[in-house]
Structures are given as C-alpha cells and as structure tokens.
Structure 1
Amino acid sequence: MANPEKSASEFLQTRRSVPAKMLGLPVPDRAALMPLLMAAVRVPDHGKLEPWRLLVLEQGAMARLAALAEARALALGLDADKTAKGSAQFETGNLAVVVISSPKPSDKIPVSEQVYSAGAVCVSLLNAALAAGWGANWLSGWPSHDRSFVTQGLGLTADETVAGIIHIGTAQNTPPERPRPDVPALVEWVTE
C-alpha cells in the first residue's frame, strides 16, 4: 500500500487526513495493525514511563459506544446536532484506536510532558496509518471529554484522559485539500 518512491520529507509535507465519514472497509486486521501500533509508540518518552495506553475499538465495540454516546447526550440534555455528532463517529466507524493519556507518578517528569507524549502517539499513529496506505483521522468530540462516557465506555481510571481517537480504514474518496498555515508568518527567528 505504501509508496516507496515518496521520501519521508515529501510524505510529511503532503500528508492529508481522511475524514472519518469517508473511511470504509476493509480496515487493517490485527496483524496489519500491530506494526502501526509499534510505530505509534516510538515517541519521545522522557523517563521511559510509557504514560499512555492503547485501546483498539473493533466494530462491536463501536456499536456499543454509539449507543452509550446517545444515552449520555440524552442524560446531559444535549441538542440533536451535538447528540448525532457524538454518536456518529462510533456508529459509522469500523476501527479506531483510542490513545489514552495515562500519566505515571514521577518526581522528574512533569505530567504535562507525559500528556504531550500521548499526543505524540496520536500523530505518530495517524502518520503510520497514512504512510502504510490506509486512510486515517484523529478525532475527539464531546464523548471523549465526558467523564462518565470514558469511565463506563472505555474503562479509564480517574487519572486518565483520552488524548485522541484515531479512526483507520480505507479511504472511499480522495480527501479534500484545505488551506495550510502560512509558516513564514508563524516563525520568529531569534538571533541573540
């Protein structure tokens, strides 16, 4: 699936996420997903704490979480649009990896650095999936920030949070290009 002709630099400068609603079957099986997960965790991890864990959501889990998101939206009194958006990523998804920020006690490594490491796992998994030829998208949404949803639905402890939900599948269409940052306007050169 990957294009061996494309350099790593060219890949990174031209990569595009595929909107989750444009992802379909097939999805990587466990054997195809494992190298992506192994690549994902090769991130800066000061103190070698592994302050994250991964939860792979297969289709049965996605249906259960869609129903839970709908129930939580009702309990929270959310409007129809927010309810639909919260449950749709699970209802229409076929495979997703939840990257869970799971900070470890440390006198040397601040929690903020551990959380950044979990974010690095998200972008590394996203890029590993895209480089392997899959479509992928990093989502979160209100359910991933709802303590009841993440505790009941994903089994998170009180100290854990969702860093991101990476949906992986086959792109059904070419993703649209979008405006990119004006890098020169964002860069400041410090000379002294």
Structure 2
Amino acid sequence: MTVFNDRTSALSLLLTRRSAKARDLAGPGPSEAELRQILTVAARVPDHGKLAPWRFVIIPQEQRDAFGESLVASLKAEKPEASEVEVEAQRQFARQAPTMIAVLSRVKQDIPIPAWEQELSAGAACQNMLLAAHALGYHANWLTTWPAYSEKVVALLGGEPGDRIAGFIFIGTGTRPDEERPRPNLDAITTLWSPRG
C-alpha cells in the first residue's frame, strides 16, 4: 500500500490515480478518522458563493443489505417489469467495497450563481474523494448507474426535492493488480487559442 505523505509526491499522486472496479474492492477500508479526512478533502473544492452545494451520505457496511433491499424496492416501484438480473444487480451494487458514500448535488435556485457551477462543484467533491483515498493508499471507484438517476433513491438517501446524485464513491483495498487504461492524446484534446477572422 503506497501512502503519499509529502509535498514532493503530490504530482506523483495525481499522475498515478486511477479507478479500481468497485466489485474488486475488499477490506480494509478507511478507518473512521481516515474517512473524516477524505470527506474534509472533498469539502475543500471550488465553491462559488460558499454554498456547499453537496451532501455526503455514508452507507455503513452493517446497513448495506438493508440499503440493497431498499434499492430493489425503488427499482420495482419505478420499473415493475424489472428482471431478476436487474434486481440482483441492485443488491450487488449495495454490497461493494468496505466504504460507500453517496454524493448529493444540492443546487440552490434563485441566486446569481449558475446551477452549472454548483453541479461542477459536486463533481469536484467526488474527484477530491478519489484523490484523498488514493493519497491514503486505498483504491476507489466513482459510479452512477440506475440508482444515481432515481428520484426514489434520492429520497431514500434523505435528499430534498431537486437534489440529484452526483455518484456513489466506493473505497477499499484492491484485490487485483492495478491496470492502466488508455489516456487521451493531449495533442488531440488541446488547442492554442488565437483570434479568428
């Protein structure tokens, strides 16, 4: 387990972060103190207007089966024709990794700060969680899938009307060797601006 603990390794931390599959994450996961550090880092993101337009909901391991059954009930209410494979997928989703955090995006309306900026801040909070977990030597995965787009699941997580789920962050110890995936060619995605016309 590599722990990044000084300033000189900050760039290495950023260059080596990668997603692990949530289903491949086992114990140990972060301790209570480490999880608090991860959430503290998540809250240190750009936040125009100091709105804190995100909420973090921890689903404890001992509540995962109950959460999974609640996901199943929500799925069946929204999609009565759901197959047994889809139903079982929700149970499996809830059981992944030692640590599971739902990130709610809470946009404040009728203020000068655009909703888009508030939503980007929630995304940045998710990314900071991944970086903090990596810095502590853990593996992490940011997932969405059906639960992230269900209003019933938002309510299940204690969300308010209008809240959306930015994603679920799973954290634990990898059980397989890290695999690097192809990254985009920087020349293909970067341009140098110049006046036109």
Is the deviation greater in 165-174 or in 4-13?
A: 4-13
Q: Give the secondary-structure state (helix, strand or coil) at the position aligned to 1:112.
A: helix
Aligned to 2:3: 2
Offset of 1:91 from its aligned partner? 2.3
Q: Which residue of 1 aligns with 2:142?
A: 138
CA distance in structure 2 between the aligned counterparts of 1:175 and 1:80, rounded to whole angstroms = 32
Residues 58 and 100 in structure 2, CA contact (< 8 A), matched pair in contact too: yes
- Residue 190, structure 1, aligned to residue 193, structure 2: yes
Amino acid at match of 2:38: L
Alpha-carbon contact 1:62-1:93 (below 8 Å) kept: no
Q: Does 1:30 align with 2:25?
A: no
1:66 matched residue in structure 2: 68
Alpha-carbon distance in 1 for matches of 2:53, 2:5: 32
> Unmatched 5+ residue regions in structure 2?
none
Alpha-carbon separation, structure 2, partners of 1:19 and 1:72: 24
Task: Report the count of equivalent residues.
Answer: 191
Q: Which amino acid aligns with 2:187?
A: P
Q: Equivalents in 2 of 1:180, 1:78: separation in Å?
A: 36
Task: Give the structure 2 partner of residue 83 of structure 1.
Answer: 87
**Contact 1:63/1:90 (CA < 8 Å) preserved in 2?**
yes
Please give the per-residue CA displacement for 1:41-95, whole angstroms capped at 9, x wherever unaligned: 1111001111111111111232112112223333312234433333322123332
Structure 1 residue 167 displacement after superposition:
0.6
Aligned to 1:165: 168
2:151 corresponds in structure 1 to 147
The answer to whether residue 57 in structure 2 is matched with residue 55 in structure 1 is yes
Aligned residue in 1 for 2:180: 177
Conserved in 2, the CA contact under 8 Å of 1:62 and 1:94? no
Q: 2:114 aligns with which of 107, 110, 113?
A: 110
Tell me how far apart the structure 1 counterparts of residues 109 and 165 of structure 2 sit (CA, whole Å). 18
Please, what TM-score do these two structures have when normalized by structure 1? 0.90
**How high is the TM-score relative to the length of structure 2?**
0.88
Counterpart of 1:98 in structure 2: which amino acid?
A: A
Q: CA RMSD in A?
A: 1.8
Superimposed CA distance per residue, residues 80-138 of structure 1 (whole angstroms, 9 cap, x where no aligned partner) = 44333333221233321111101224522011111110010000111110111011110
The reply to whether residue 98 of structure 1 matches residue 99 of structure 2 is no
Query: Matched residue of 2:49: which SS?
Result: helix
Structure 1 residue runs without a partner (length 5+): none
Question: % of aligned pairs identical?
Answer: 35
